[in-house]
Structure 1
Amino acid sequence: MGRNHCKVVNLLKSSQFIGVYDIDSDKCKEVAVSYGVTPFSSYIEMLSAVDAVIIAVPTTFHYQYAEKAIKSGKHILIEKPFVNTLEEAEKLIALNSKNNNCIIQVGHIERFNPVIEIINNSIDDSNIISIEARRLSETERNLDVDVVLDLMIHDIDIILNLVKSDLRSITAKGSFSDNNQTHLDIVHVLLTFQNGVIANLIANRVSTESLRTLSITEKQRVITANYITRELQIYKKTASDLQTFNEIENSIETIKVPPIEPIQAEIQHFIHSIINNTPPIIGPNEAKKALSVVMNIRKSIRTGETISLF
């Protein structure tokens, strides 16, 4: 992801691209030369020369890189997941509050997918009955974490933001794709909320199919979204003019989705938050909520039980 961030930052007029750091010095120099920026020899050296950093390293290293940036008073855009554990999240939140209170934005990039932005502006959470999220792919990236932290956390964050209700329970099942059983690769989850909404989530990173979809069932509508093709359709139930049999007719509305690149919108939002000193839409506290759900999903899989949260 780091190269994609560099590409976007280099095009923006509202910020200055200063340089890059990578533990692979050859890769660092290659990227720096391609954008005409400084290849820093250490992370500390880079922190001394910038106002903000984008942290795009394996999740295992998120905490240590973020901690150093906070102590240096730098604004941070950090890739999801925020960190590996709730304890790490709490420490970083407390450290930032105590030290510099810098802007910290977590890279839940689907928040900036134009499909999701349209959905957020067109639904009333009180009308939601159920949500289904499917995220399938074949990937070798982020294999330092399981599929819940790698892929499903996107949908966890989106659903928590849409439903706006406390969770009542979590039931999850998972499996491994190899004999090592190091990290879960396939996970199915049922979330039940206090307001009665249920959400089904599926994440599979060993699938031959590439799919990222969201379906929201409301009282009078079903909204289906495809993140990849950026297609959005709304199926509406409308009462028929015929008085007999109280017939119901269905209409389908296809919503035109603007061609916005989520990663560009994400970085622009980060810069806007810094300039205006306003909190980002997905900060460390929101990311911590999603991470808490991840931990309970793991617990449900490990124990084979439904986790009650009330």
Structure 2
Amino acid sequence: MEQQRSIAAAWFRKLRDRIVTAFEMLEDEGPGAAPPGRFVVTPTKRTEDGGGGVMSVMRGGRVFEKVGVNWSEVHGALEPRAQAAMASRGVPGIDRDPRFWASGISLVAHMQNPHVPAVHMNTRMFWTPGAWWFGGGADLNPCIEYADDTAHFHATLRAACDAHGADYYARFKSWADEYFFIPHRGRARGVGGIFFDDLNTGDWQADFAFTQAVGQAFLPAFQPLVRTRMDLPWSDADRDAQLVHRGLYAEYNLVYDRGTRFGLETGHNADAVLMSLPPLAKWT
């Protein structure tokens, strides 16, 4: 499994590099005379001997108000609370041996133009002495919804799913609808996408290939929406709607998101874990 872990970590890093390059190209195409935004890249560490990663954040660009594309490879022993949470999910042997390894990419983009939807994507591999699995997904979070955008995003993800499992899209869309729901608001945080976790069919290569397909589908799902909407005029009311919607996003990530809790509970760099939070938000 050590070789597979190395392969997965390297692929997640390459996906991070590919997306960063594509987003900087969108900045070059973006409206306005201001210089195009560029990512600031910062190494991160979990602990002295627990691995780390790369935090890549761009702020104040032509197209992206704030976007983070982070990669990590971490290892060590789970804290008791995280260990108990995984034991409650039925991870074999985790109650006896808290060692773990994890690698993945995590992306959240908050856009300048309210007509361009915010977006989230992540893919990851997790290992313990008794188990391994993949997880991830992508979901779209517009404050001003366009039916064509929603349809394109879902169709692209569906094509990625259908190539690997006839029931994957239906299962993982339903899971996303449930997972990205905000109970205290009684609503979803966006228009959904797909979400999967604990994916272990017994065939590592097949599960990794599907996880790669989800990562590869992200740019074709999202880039056309940016190019279609980033030049549209917007009003103060549109901006107000955007800031209020970002408040929902912040509430979800701080209260319910599994990845946020895991990152903070296992001692990873707090700035990298909380990269997903918007630069500005509003509550009515």
TM-score by length of 2: 0.27
Higher helix share: 2
TM-score w.r.t. structure 1 length? 0.26
